[in-house]
Amino acid sequence: MLKVASLSAASPRPFGTTLREVRFEVRAGEGLGNGGVEGNG
């Protein structure tokens, strides 16, 4: 199992996205993906 708790990271860019208190668990047989497109939003 992979467990992440309280992950935070400031954005290096003025209009970037800052991570605050991210938590997740990935268990055997599961997959985790995160994707985004710069400029959307």
Confidence class of residue 15 from pLDDT cuts 50, 70 and 90?
Answer: confident
CA-based nearest residue to 21, from 36, 7, 10: 7
- What is the reported pTM? 0.61
* Average pLDDT score over residue span 5-14: 93
Q: Which pLDDT score, from 0 to 100, does residue 40 have?
A: 66
Please answer whether residues 19 and 8 qualify as being in contact, where contact means their C-beta atoms are separated by less than 8 angstroms.
yes
Q: What pLDDT, in 10s, does the model give residues 16-40?
A: 889 899 999 999 999 988 887 776 6
Q: Which pLDDT score, from 0 to 100, does residue 36 have?
A: 75
